[in-house]
Structure 1
Amino acid sequence: MQRSPRSPAGPDVAAPALGRDRAGLVESRGIDCVPDSERHGTARELFSVWAAPNVSYLSFVVGGTLVLIGLSLTESLAVIVTGNLFWLLTGFIAVSGPAAGTSGSVISRAMYGVVGNKAVVALTGWLISSLYLALNWSAASVAGLGLAGRLGLPDSAALDAAVVCVIAGATILVAIYGHATIVRLYTALTIVLTLVFVALSVMVLGHTNWSYTPAEPLTGLGHLVVLASGFTIVASAPLSYSNSPDLSRYLPRHTSGRAITLWTACGAFLPSVVFTAIGALAATTLDMSDPQAALESVMPHWFVPVFVTAVVVNTVANNGLTAYSSGLSMQSIGVRLPRMIAVLVVGVIGTTMTLFALLVFDFLTAVNAMMELVVIVTGPCMTVYATDIVLRRNRYDGELLHDQSRTSPFWYRGGVNWAGVLATLGGAAAATLCASSTFWAGPVSAAMDGLNLAIPVGVLGSGALYWALSRAFGTLAPTSSPTTARH
Structure 2
Amino acid sequence: MERSATGPVVAAASSGQDRAGSFESRGIDCVPDSERHGRARELFTLWAAPNVSYLSFVVGGALILTGLSLAEALAVTVAGNLLWLLTGFIAVSGPAAGTSGSVISRAMYGVVGNKVVVLTGWLIASLYLALNWSAASVAGLGLTGRIGLPDTPAVDALVVCLIAGATILVAIYGHATIVRLYGALSILLTVVFLAVTVLVLTRTDWSYTPAEPLTGLHRLAVLASGFTIVASAPLSYSNSPDLSRYLPRDTSAKAITLWTALGAFLPSVLFTAIGSLAATTLDMSDPQAALESVMPSWFAPVLVIAVVLNTVANNGITAYSSGLSMQSVGIRLHRVLAVLVVGLIGTAMTLFALLVFDFLTAVNTLMELVVVITGPCMAVYATDMVLRRNRYDGEQLHDQSRTSPFWYRAGVNRAGALATLGGTVAATLCAGTGTWAGPLSAAMGGLNLAVPVGILGSAVLHWALSRAFGTLPPAVAVVPPRPAATVQH
Tell me whether the two structures share a fold, i.e. TM-score over 0.5: yes
Name the counterpart of 1:86. 83
Q: Hey, what does 2:378 align to over in structure 1?
A: 382
Tell me which residue corresponds to 1:67.
Answer: 64
Q: Deviations 1:219-254 (Å, cap 9, x if unpaired)? A: 100000000000000000000000000000000001
Moved over 6 A (4+): none
1:163 aligns with 2:159: yes
Q: Which moved more, 1:291-300 or 1:472-481?
A: 472-481
Instruction: Provide the C-alpha distance between the structure 2 equivalents of 1:6 and 1:437, rounded to a whole number of angstroms.
Output: 46
- Preserved CA contact (<8 Å) 1:9 1:338: no
Q: CA offsets per residue over residues 13-65 of structure 1, 9 Å max, x none?
A: x5342331000000000000000000000000000100000000000000000
Asked whether the 8 Å contact 1:233–1:368 carries over to 2, the reply is yes
Q: Provide the C-alpha distance between the structure 1 equivalents of 2:210 and 2:151, rounded to a whole number of angstroms.
A: 37
* Matched letter for residue 167 of structure 2: T
Structure 2, unaligned stretches of length 5 or more? 482-489
Structure 2 partner of 1:176: 172
How far, CA to CA, are the matches of 2:478 and 2:284 in structure 1? Answer: 54
Deviation at 1:449, TM superposition (A): 1.3
Note if contact 2:6-2:400 (Cα within 8 Å) is conserved in structure 1: no
Q: How far apart, CA to CA, are the structure 1 residues paired with 2:188 and 2:7?
A: 37
Name which of 378, 389, 392 aligns with 1:396: 392
CA distance in 1, matches of 2:259, 2:4: 33
**Which residue of 1 is the match for residue 484 of structure 2?**
none
Whether 2:210 is the aligned partner of 1:201: answer no
TM-score w.r.t. the length of structure 1 is: 0.97
Residues 273-312 of structure 1 mapped to structure 2, 5 A cutoff = 273-312=269-308
Select which of 135, 138, 144 maps to 1:142. 138
AA at the equivalent of 1:416: V
Amino acid at match of 1:109: R
Structure 1 residue runs of 5 or longer lacking an equivalent are none
Correspondence 1:45 to 2:38: no
Deviation at 1:481, TM superposition (A): 2.6
Deviations 1:49-95 (A, max 9, x none): 00000000000000000000000000000000010000000000000
Spell out, residue by residue over 1:403-455, the C-alpha distance to the aligned partner (whole angstroms, 9 max, x if none): 00000000000000000000000000000000001342100001111110000
Among 101, 104, 107, the alignment partner of 1:107 is 104
Could you tell me whether the CA contact under 8 Å between 1:288 and 1:294 is conserved in 2?
A: yes
**What corresponds to 1:473 in structure 2?**
469
Q: Which amino acid aligns with 2:6?
A: P
Out of 104, 113, 138, the residue aligned to residue 116 of structure 1 is 113
**Equivalent residues of 2:130, 2:347 under 8 A apart:** yes
Residues 116-171 of structure 1: per-residue CA shift (max 9 Å, x gap): 000000001x1000000000000000000011111111100000000000000000
CA distance in 1, matches of 2:289, 2:297: 12
Distance, in Å, in 2 between the alignment partners of 1:160 and 1:68 is: 28
User: After superposition, where does 1:28-43 map in structure 2 within 5 Å?
Assistant: 28-43=25-40
Shift of 1:482: 6.0
Is 1:24 aligned with 2:21?
yes
The answer as to 2:251 corresponding to 1:249 is no
Contact 2:441-2:449 within 8 A present in 1 as well: yes
Select the residue among 397, 411, 414 that pairs with 2:410.
414
* Paired positions, count: 479
**Contact 2:111–2:412 (8 Å) recurs in 1:** yes
Q: Counterpart of 1:95? A: 92
Q: Is the 8 A contact 1:9 1:337 kept in 2?
A: no
> How many Å separate the matches in 2 of 1:9 and 1:452?
44
Give the Cα separation in 2 of the matches to 1:255 and 1:303: 42
Checking the alignment, whether the CA contact within 8 Å between 2:139 and 2:304 is kept in structure 1 is yes
| Amino acid in structure 1 at the alignment position of 2:395 | E
What RMSD over aligned residues (CA atoms) do the two structures have, in Å? 1.2
CA distance in 1, matches of 2:3, 2:63: 48
